[in-house]
Amino acid sequence: MGSTEVGRVAQSLLETKLDQLTDMSMARLREDETGYQSINLADLRQQMQRTLTLTLMRLSGMSVPPSLSSAAYETGQLRAYQNLELSSVLHSFRIDLRILWEAIVQEGKALGLDTSPQFLEGLVEVWEAVEANIADVIEGYRRAADRVSRRLEEIRSAAFERLLLDGERDGSVVAEAARTLDFPIEGSYLCLVGAFPTPNPDILNRSLARLNQRKISSHFSWAAGELVGVILLDTSADETLRHLDDLQRFTCGIFDVHGLKAVPKGLRLARAVIRGSSQPGIRHLRQSWTGAFASVDSELSDSLAADILAPLESLPPTERDACFETLAAYVVSDGTITDISKITYRHRNTIRKRLQQLESVTGLNLARPADVTTMSLAYDAYALREKRRADRGR
């Protein structure tokens, strides 16, 4: 690579001052980057000397042996495995650049080359040689970091899966999951299960980015047709859900629990929400008890829907649709005529007449709590049945 003058200087430094340059780079690096304090000195010296040798050989135009040509790439991989930040690793090579630049300029003066135009123009090659090392170290670091990340994710996923299988009866499994997932054993957790026939990493990654930005710990994994996750609650569940807006387009259930041991139960209860829901959105089990109960036994729930609502389905289409519109609003509202009127955009008198018709046709009295519960369960069972029929027709 090197021009004649810069090459001569680089070869001189390689032959006479390599140890001195290595010592200077090590001292400055350990002073600037505290992360390197934990690195074995012999290892650090060997790697720095190899990369400095590689740079000087490139500048001198010498043939680089295969055993040395990958020195920077190897350094990048090693530092990734040692869990150093990439910014710190790159800083070490910037230090090499400053040390070499100063040494080459000083050596050039000693050799009387400091006024040579060719020498001055050739100094840019010092930067190019170090940049070639930096490109190699970045590539090595990123490849190793990807492997480390995948391995850590495999370990985390295995710990999470074991927590779900054995955590409720084995305290050692809970303790191991806490260490691996970096979760407190006695923390408060939001358990989430989403219906995802096909995994959608982009949707999840956006949500994870928001959680990570706010330093909210979480773990998610894809199961058969589901997204399963747990979030450590530092604030209220409602506040945390603001960061999961992208998941609102899918049917998701949540349930909050205290203690890592309770997470398997929390996920089962969250799953009950999606089994009993016919609409997309994130819903807490507290909002979905009737739907969850209606989904427990399809034969029982279908029979309930048929027994209670069959008379409605036999009405003329216009009346039938009007009654089901009112019933749907009744179930999701506070049950008052005013609230149902706002939801359906119908006059209060119209709502009053429809509620009377519902009572007349079904034989239930909406002033009796037991009948209100039966009506709500019957409607949720009906909605789930219709959803299953629609899904089969796709």
**Which DSSP helix (H) or strand (E) runs through 218?**
strand 218-223
Residues with Cβ within 8 Å of 242's Cβ and at least 6 positions away in sequence, in order, are none
292-342 pLDDT, tens digit each: 888 888 888 889 888 899 898 889 999 999 999 999 899 888 888 999 999
**Torsion angle, CA of 208/261/161/285, rounded to 10 degrees?**
-60
Burial of 342 (0-12, 13-18, 19+ CB in 10 A): middle
- 161 compared with 278, residue with greater pLDDT: 161
Query: Amino acid identity, residue 311?
Result: P
Decide if 226 contacts 247 (C-beta within 8 A): no
Decide if 206 contacts 246 (C-beta within 8 A): yes
The domain 296-392 is placed in CATH, from the list 1.20.1530.20, 3.40.50.1000, 3.40.630.10, 1.10.10.2840, at 1.10.10.2840
Q: What is the DSSP letter of 315?
A: S
- As a whole number, mean pLDDT of residues 115-125 equals 82
∠358-362-367 over CA atoms, to 5°?
65
Other CB atoms within 10 Å distance of the CB of residue 243:
20
Query: CA of 128: how far to CAs of 65, 94, 139, 160, 183, in Å?
Result: 19, 12, 17, 47, 46
- Radius of gyration from C-alpha coordinates of the chain: 34
Name 252's bridge partners.
Answer: 194, 282
225-284 pLDDT, tens digit each: 899 999 999 877 888 888 898 999 999 999 999 999 999 999 999 999 988 887 889 999
Q: How far apart are CA 333 and CA 327, in angstroms?
A: 10
- The mean predicted confidence, pLDDT, of the chain is 89
277-300 pLDDT, tens digit each: 878 899 998 888 888 888 888 888
Percent of the chain scored above 70 by pLDDT?
99
In CATH, the number for domain 4-149 is 1.10.490
The strand pair at 218-223 and 226-232 is best described as antiparallel
Domain ranges of the chain: 4-149, 187-287, 296-392
pLDDT at 2: 47
Q: How far apart are CA 54 and CA 83, in angstroms?
A: 24
The pTM for the full model equals: 0.67
Order of strands across the sheet that contains 188-195: 218-223, 226-232, 188-195, 251-258, 281-284
Which of 81-85, 118-122, 127-131, 206-210 is the least confident region?
118-122
Q: Which CATH class is domain 187-287?
A: alpha beta
In three-state secondary structure terms, 120 is helix
Q: How far apart are CA 16 and CA 112, in angstroms?
A: 18
